[in-house]
Structure 1
Amino acid sequence: MNVPKVFQQLVTQHPKKVLFYYGNEEWTFQQVDQFSNKIANYFIAQGYNHGDEIALFMDNRPEYVAIWLGLAKAGIVAALVNTNQRQSTLIHSLSVVNCKALIFGSELMKTVNDVYLTLSKSIAHMEYFCYDTADRDDNYVHVDGIDTSSRDGFEYKSLNNLIGSISDESPEERINLADFTDRLLYIYTSGTEGLPKAAIIKHSRFIWMGAAVKYMIRIYNDDILYTSLPLYHLAGGTVGVCQSLIFGNTMAIRNKFSASNFWKDCVKYKCTVGQYIGEICRYLLTQPESPYDKMHSVRLMFGNGLRGSIWNEFVTRFNIGQIGELYGSTEGNANIINVDNKEGSCGFISQIAPFLYPATLIKVDENTGEAIRDKNGICVKVQAGETGEFVGKIIENDPTRAFDGYADKAANKKKIIYDVFRKGDCAFLSGDLLTMDQFGYLYFKDRCGDTYRWKGENVSTMEVEAIISNSLHLTDCIVYGVDVPGCEGKAGMAAILDKNRSFNLDELLSTLRSCLPVFMIPVFIRLVDFLEVTSTHKLPKISFRKDGFNPSRIKDPLFMFDSKRFCYVKIDQDLYTDILKGVVKL
């Protein structure tokens, strides 16, 4: 079987059932099937072959799924490009796979136009197709002359017009060519540690991930799902959409996440299951209390990133019966999920029969991040209460255990470790640190690069962030380590959102002292007017690490923790110089 085949079985079973809600629109299974057939038939007629690759660059809407489904019916692999990408990052994403065409929404016309000249030189053969959405969405600007037109030398074709008279019959011959192990999609990693990488999602992986979530946390056939997550991301576009395309659930799609409309939408569409990711749950808690908080029918919320510090507050305020916190990565071969509502946990590995699911935590060197091995050269597993890097054993030809990797094969080497469970085997390196209790429940601790060492102790940035955020009424903040000349390890620094310069540093310090050991209290504080949030509601740290604590480089207010006087003092150029010279001891 492949994804289009399974979907067509659902169309036959209930053609008139609503597949997608979007604004005031309803798209039935039959309508999505017919639209996707038109896409498939057009590109087949244009000479596109099984295995060709086309990039899709468009905001959330039912047609987004229908377009890549149509490409899949034609055997074409769709590269789902992050709509926040611009300039060099966008060019990289389109170049790292062998794109023969780019399909983009008219809302992103200017973005594509900005890179057209550069792209046309590096990928001369690429065609451009614009799907016009302006007639339905008032917030998008309609592009004049969208039919086979050009602006500033930018030539593109109107996909709306091109598929208008195309047959909506199913291209059975091409659908039957696709194998269970063929590539279905490329989904890009977030790029928080460099340029995005195109992870391979095969038909088998798409179905397996969706099935695992459905059966592990019990998504029923009559559940209506709500997602405002980007459909180019694994959580919304694969784990979420799979519930509809493979298992027949109705899904309500919102164009972009809105904290003020989240529960209103759930009430409007009678949703019973909702998705979250990153900081979404915290953003919902910051909203003023509303009748909609408990008026909805959502019994299950699933995703990743619900912090243990707000877990109970979230489920209590919004009356959520079950949280399906999960852990996994776009490219990873090992995923776990909280199936029994264990507060704060992201999953479970059996300690009685660990061989049933070959994933584990291995000890890593606190300074280098390298795996610690025993006298035989095998990785050492952590004990209860210890922290280690999450790894999953790679078993080729097993769709549940294979590591499909990236379009750029050179990137695969960094993610594979050898001699893990026994000599000669290999495993996927997640790059994440988790803690396991005596029963096998796992708790996310930090990214390997985020945890830093100070005063001979490891500091979890996530733990410090949670305390700062909670003490400041769920304010955005990030914690990271910065280099200080003459000091071993990295000094902790917190960038805190404070547009109005309203909170009291002394009160914050008092809270930190009552909750944390002294070595975990941030040495430096930076008050910022703006914190960039990724499309998956994460707060990236790379630029802040590079900035350090230099007042000549940073215009935001900077403070240093004076441990002798036990207060934060403002950093000026003189104090900064004294810190660098070692006159001021940290």
Structure 2
Amino acid sequence: MSNRIGRYFQSVGFRKGDCVALIMDGRPEYVCSWLGLSKIGVVTALVNTTQRGDSLRHSLDIVRAKAVLLGTEYSDVCPEVCEDIPGFRLFAMGGGRTPPGAVSLDQVLPRISAETLSKEIDKQNFKDQLLYIYTSGTTGLPKAAIITNARAVFMGYGVHCMAGIGPEDVLYTPLPLYHTAGGVIGAGAAVLSGATVVIRSKFSASNFWKDCVRYDCTAAQYIGEICRYLLATPPSEDDRRHRVRIMFGNGLRPQIWQEFVTRFRIPTVGEFYGSTEGNANLINIWNKVGSVGYVPWFAKPFYPLKLLKVDPETNEILRDANGRCIRCRQGEPGVLVGDINKKKIVTNFNGYVDKGATEQKILRDVFRKGDSYFNTGDILVEGELGYLYFKDRTGDTFRWRGENISTSEVEAVISNIVGLKDVIVYGVEIPNVEGRAGMAAILDESKSLDWSRLEEGMRRKLSSFARPLFVRILRQLPMTSTFKLKKIDLQKEGYNPNLIQDPLYFFDSKSGTYTRLTPQLYDEIVSNVVRL
């Protein structure tokens, strides 16, 4: 199929360097599409299938896409966005309705030769661009990260090297194929290592282990909050009836790690750290609970990752009297950066299609004049023996009562207290009060939140300065497609009951309980009548 796709697009005028946007649910044709286009040097932009309107138009514009290859399940998505783009072309694949003006590939591909495009493939090299993958940030318009052939091979084949995934394995991935984890690392297990990959187009907690049993999976992927969702499902015989020997991904919280591997009998967890565009990559394949990676002492001098000191209040990177950045000591949190070396595949930073966005992620003159590092924006800390642990994202940590509060740590504690419900923690400003007060947004669709349990649990497990002053009860949860909880919009909305329809609560320090936040109480707080 990939040969047919490559030959067809070549026959209708597409050439090396052109870009085709791909909008399709996860299925084998998805991988065949970008693989076939790559054989003639065409770059595929893997568009988030949830994008619509201006966001979708932006994603097509920034990569200068000449066409969209559309799964017919999204026939209604593109026409209104694409119709005013001169010379834009539309192709469709799937059993559904082909949109007006689109070429049905299901009809034309069977007539195309499946012979390998040997001459065209010979013209490609490791530095050529293969894919554009959009960052799934929690706010703002998406940025298109550049994935070269070399980077795709490095990420995909890394699964084989680090996790031992090979031709005898069956890998289960419920992740979207338009992001790196599912689309490059997961698909790469088949393309580069010969493993069988089972694709589920949409994640389902209730069907996760059923699928693993049905398809006799030996490995599985996770990301974000997936492991917590699995723990929240009722116990089942499938929890231990599967043959999964390893799960790998990122985002398994330390607070549920041991409970997760015990309940589901997972022999090995491969927790890794990295980003689509970044050159700072780590992996913990040794079952060290909570760690995102390991750098042994003898590798530190030449391994390209460093932790830099930051201001505890502003999270700005600190520099010494000579203008150089300061390395963190063991046990001292700092921002993780990766040395940019364009001569090496592993440490080069290809950045984004937007050069301005690329420059914003580069830190210069770090240890000597002229050097450059990729700034991850993430706060990590090195523990004993070289294991590294994720603390928070820059900007997520806030200061209250003279103490630094890690939102991710407080989120994990509260989530455990309230039965693994979704929780988002952030800092909010109170007029004329130093720092930011903690606020927690808790998803409670069934209206079953046990306030007594919440208050008692926070008293026992959180320091007084870390307990959220405000609580917002959500009926719906803002979340990215890679199961990351959005908090920027919630933080901007704050705690004003005159503007927010969700129930709001305020912690009464005298009674040690949460009380309903009324407009009158709100006015007393912001006018400093209520002393905090």
Q: Which one is further off, 525-534 or 389-398?
A: 525-534
Q: CA deviation at 1:542?
A: 1.5
Matching of residue 234 in structure 1 with residue 180 in structure 2? yes
Matching of residue 530 in structure 1 with residue 504 in structure 2? no
Match of 1:120 among 83, 104, 110: 83
**Structure 1: how far apart are the matches of 2:467 and 2:124?**
55
User: 1:485-531 CA deviation, whole Å, 9 max, x = no partner?
Assistant: 11222111111011232223232122111111111000100011111
- What letter corresponds to residue 124 of structure 1 in structure 2? P
Q: Which one is further off, 403-412 or 558-567?
A: 558-567
Give the aligned length.
532
User: 1:436-486 CA deviation, whole Å, 9 max, x = no partner?
Assistant: 113211111111121111112111111111111111111111111112111
- What letter corresponds to residue 515 of structure 1 in structure 2? K
Q: CA deviation at 1:425?
A: 0.9
Matching of residue 292 in structure 1 with residue 258 in structure 2? no
Contact 2:418 2:453 (C-alpha < 8 Å) held by counterparts: no
- What letter corresponds to residue 125 of structure 1 in structure 2? G
Q: CA deviation at 1:185?
A: 0.4
Match of 2:35 among 58, 69, 79: 69
**Structure 1: how far apart are the matches of 2:127 and 2:476?**
44
User: 1:344-369 CA deviation, whole Å, 9 max, x = no partner?
Assistant: 10101223431231101111112332
**Structure 2: how far apart are the matches of 1:408 and 1:47?**
26
Matching of residue 312 in structure 1 with residue 275 in structure 2? no
TM-score by length of 2: 0.98
- What letter corresponds to residue 120 of structure 1 in structure 2? E
Aligned to 1:3: none
RMSD between aligned residues: 1.3
- What letter corresponds to residue 83 of structure 1 in structure 2? T
Matches within 5 A, 1:41-80: 41-80=7-46
Unaligned runs of 5+ in 2: none
- What letter corresponds to residue 131 of structure 1 in structure 2? M
Contact 2:315 2:394 (C-alpha < 8 Å) held by counterparts: yes
Match of 1:539 among 475, 482, 485: 485
**Structure 2: how far apart are the matches of 1:576 and 1:541?**
21
Q: CA deviation at 1:414?
A: 1.0
Aligned to 2:202: 256
Matching of residue 39 in structure 1 with residue 5 in structure 2? yes
Matching of residue 131 in structure 1 with residue 97 in structure 2? no
Q: CA deviation at 1:173?
A: 1.5
Matched residue of 2:138: which SS?
coil
Matches within 5 A, 1:139-154: 142-143=96-97, 146=98, 150=100
User: 1:320-378 CA deviation, whole Å, 9 max, x = no partner?
Assistant: 00000000011101100002111110101223431231101111112332211223322
Matches within 5 A, 1:20-31: none
Q: CA deviation at 1:384?
A: 1.6
User: 1:199-228 CA deviation, whole Å, 9 max, x = no partner?
Assistant: 000000011122333212332441111101
User: 1:114-162 CA deviation, whole Å, 9 max, x = no partner?
Assistant: x43xx333x3221011112x3xxxxxxx32xx3xx62xxxx32212112
Match of 1:85 among 51, 61, 85: 51
Contact 1:506 1:568 (C-alpha < 8 Å) held by counterparts: no
Contact 2:331 2:381 (C-alpha < 8 Å) held by counterparts: yes
Q: Which one is further off, 195-204 or 245-254?
A: 245-254
**Structure 2: how far apart are the matches of 1:348 and 1:177?**
38
TM-score by length of 1: 0.89
User: 1:88-125 CA deviation, whole Å, 9 max, x = no partner?
Assistant: 11111111101010011111112223x43xx333x322
Identity %: 51
Matched residue of 1:276: which SS?
strand
Matched residue of 2:324: which SS?
coil
Aligned to 2:285: 339
**Structure 1: how far apart are the matches of 2:70 and 2:437?**
44
